[in-house]
């Protein structure tokens, strides 16, 4: 009887400690945004698809190579990104993530400006990892 109770307790501990796909993707999204703030282009390279389309609220669209280059040269500098009302919709190996975000960013070494944006990100699961495929923001 003690063995059965022990097994049940161990299984319960494993199940409550396991993250759902939604929780894993939410953590990945937040981690990606922090890598933008840190300018960690190695991580950004790993977390984005080679066909990435990264749309901004003003109509500017960056490719993966452009995002990395713009961070490395300082053309784009993110100071903070804060997500609110984040929702995840899973569909097989794809997911859309919507949230309201406050982006504090500067271009060309200018004065930082905070943009309050509504954002849609499309993520694709490759193996065990989620990779950003597309992003579009509107004011």
Which two three-digit tokens encode residue 51? Answer: 């066909």
pTM for this prediction: 0.84
15 lies in a domain? no
By residue range, what is the domain housing residue 50?
21-138
122 pLDDT more than 60: yes
Region 14-18: mean pLDDT is 53
Q: Decide: 63 and 48 in contact? Cβ < 8 Å.
A: no
- How confident is the model at residue 12, as a pLDDT? 59
Q: Rounded CA gap, 30 and 118, in Å?
A: 15
5 lies in a domain? no
Side-by-side strand order, sheet with 48-55: 61-62, 48-55, 129-138, 113-126, 94-107, 76-91
4 lies in a domain? no
75 pLDDT more than 70: yes
What confidence category does residue 87 fall into, taking pLDDT thresholds of 50, 70 and 90? Answer: very high
- How confident is the model at residue 7, as a pLDDT? 62
Q: How many domains does the chain have?
A: 1
* CATH for 117: 3.10.450.50
Q: Decide: 94 and 102 in contact? Cβ < 8 Å.
A: no
């Amino acid at each position: 009887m003690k063995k059965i109770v022990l097994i049940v307790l161990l299984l319960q501990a494993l199940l409550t400690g396991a993250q759902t796909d939604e929780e894993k993707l939410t953590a990945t999204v937040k981690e990606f945004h922090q890598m933008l703030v840190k300018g960690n282009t190695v991580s950004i390279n790993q977390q984005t698809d080679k066909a990435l389309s990264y749309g901004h609220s003003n109509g500017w669209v960056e490719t993966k190579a452009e995002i990395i280059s713009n961070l490395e040269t300082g053309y784009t500098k993110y100071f903070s990104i804060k997500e609110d009302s984040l929702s995840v919709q899973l569909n097989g190996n794809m997911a859309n993530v919507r949230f309201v975000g406050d982006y504090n960013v500067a271009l060309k070494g200018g004065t930082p400006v905070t943009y309050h944006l509504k954002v849609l990100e499309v993520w694709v699961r490759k193996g065990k990892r989620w990779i950003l495929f597309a992003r579009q923001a509107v004011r």
